[in-house]
Amino acid sequence: MTQLDWLTKRPIAHRGLHDLNNKCWENTLSAFDAAAKAGFSIECDVHLSKDGVAIVFHDEDLKRLSGKDGQIQELTAAQATALQIGETEDRVPTLREALALIAGRVPVIIELKGIPGRDDGLVAAVASELEGYEGHAAIMSFDHHLVRRFPADAPGIPGGLTAEGVKTRNIEAHFSMLAHELAFVSYNVHHLPNPFVAFVREKLRLPVITWTVRDQAAKAQSDLFADQITFEGFNPISMMA
């Protein structure tokens, strides 16, 4: 048993247990509650608001999710949380609201969405919300400049690299990040196998989760080369032995 066994114990609902934004939308309190009730871990995305608050939202642009014009980082927390998601009753939540609702029922993996020059303080803001949180939680990012901040700004919180690519330049860039105290890796399921993921699992013995698994074929691929899936659009329990 290791300290991160919880990360790979159960499938991870991508942006919560939504229905592909039909009635239950991604990264909403409704999607997080549905995932927790179903016993799935939760992945969510976080941006930094104009006034330095961690906001749960995937895109930089507001249009797809709220129908409004503008950029999420241009809004204060109060402005962001006033936005209606789709035609639902859900509003954009803060990370604090999401964590209060999840309340340790299932693990949560938070992906930090960086915008160079506009995300100073994002890692520290997320770490502040996780201080004293009574539940399993981890952070991760595609953005190398944020991952480099994890040890200093979020000490004690498991930090991972979100990654993709199979070209030599991609793999070399990922290997360079192993110098920054990674606890796990989250990799594009369609880019497996590759030397980086194999090294992380087999030599470093670190867990690897995959994104985004949307069908049985992708789950089978993930099961061969990684330790757990991040999924959406189907119920992975029905495929588990």
76-113: pLDDT as tens digits: 999 999 999 999 999 999 999 999 999 999 999 999 99
In a domain, 12, yes or no: yes
In a domain, 54, yes or no: no
Amino acid at 72: I
Reported in sequence order, the residue ranges of 7-71 that DSSP labels E, i.e. its strands, are 12-14, 41-48, 54-56
Q: What is the mean pLDDT of residues 217-232?
A: 97
Q: How confident is the model at residue 2 (pLDDT cuts 50, 70, 90)?
A: low
Tokens 């129908």 correspond to 67
Kindly give the pairing relationship between strand 41-48 and strand 137-141.
unpaired
61: which residues sit within 8 A by CB, 6+ positions away? 70, 71, 72
Q: What is the mean pLDDT of residues 127-136?
A: 97
In a domain, 226, yes or no: yes
Q: What is the mean pLDDT of residues 179-208?
A: 98
For residue 181, pLDDT beyond 60: yes
pLDDT at 241: 36
Q: How confident is the model at residue 237 (pLDDT cuts 50, 70, 90)?
A: confident
Maximal CA-CA distance, the chain: 48
In CATH, what number is assigned to the domain containing residue 160?
3.20.20.190
In a domain, 85, yes or no: no
pLDDT at 239: 45
Q: What is the mean pLDDT of residues 115-132?
A: 96
In a domain, 178, yes or no: yes
In a domain, 59, yes or no: no
In a domain, 166, yes or no: yes
What is the span of the domain harbouring residue 217?
A: 5-46+108-234
In a domain, 123, yes or no: yes
pLDDT at 83: 98
Q: What is the mean pLDDT of residues 107-123?
A: 96
Q: How confident is the model at residue 145 (pLDDT cuts 50, 70, 90)?
A: very high
- How far CA 147 is from CA of 154, 194, 220, in Å, comes to 10, 21, 29
